[in-house]
């Protein structure tokens, strides 16, 4: 659900990066370690995947709660051509979107 919110905020690159790191850097190696090296077998596979998904969810929620909503709204207005936004949308729109999540 949080990844859908990130997509609607035009922050899909951040959500994709979090998912990529969460699955391939955390979940898969942890599942492999737990299931084969610690002999937890199927339970280890589930635990590794569960921990990865938990970290993905928490990370995405952090991004959602710390995003600058005013900048996101302004970037959406620019994209849609509403309000006092300029007619020609170009790199300024991309800068507005990236500015909404400067700390990421």
Domain regions of the chain by residue span: 2-96
pLDDT of 22: 96
Q: What is the mean pLDDT of the chain?
A: 86
* 89 Cβ contact list (under 8 Å, min separation 6): 78, 79, 81
Q: Is 56 exposed, middle or buried (0-12, 13-18, 19+ CB in 10 A)?
A: buried
Confidence of residue 96 (pLDDT cuts 50, 70, 90): low
- Summarised one tens digit per residue, pLDDT across range 52-69 is 999 999 999 999 999 999
- The least confident of 15-24, 58-67, 72-81 is 72-81
pTM of the model: 0.73
- The predicted pLDDT at position 81 comes to 85
Q: Which two tokens stand for residue 77?
A: 């207005």
């Amino acid at each position: 659900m949080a990844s859908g919110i990130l997509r609607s905020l035009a922050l899909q690159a951040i959500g994709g990066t979090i998912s990529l790191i969460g699955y391939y850097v955390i979940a898969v190696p942890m599942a492999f370690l737990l299931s084969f090296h610690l002999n937890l077998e199927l339970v280890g596979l589930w635990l590794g995947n569960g921990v990865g998904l938990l970290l993905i969810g928490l990370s995405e929620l952090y991004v959602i709660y710390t995003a600058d909503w005013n900048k996101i709204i302004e970037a959406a207005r620019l994209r849609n051509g509403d309000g006092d936004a300029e007619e020609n949308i170009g790199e300024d729109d991309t800068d507005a979107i990236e500015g909404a999540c400067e700390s990421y």
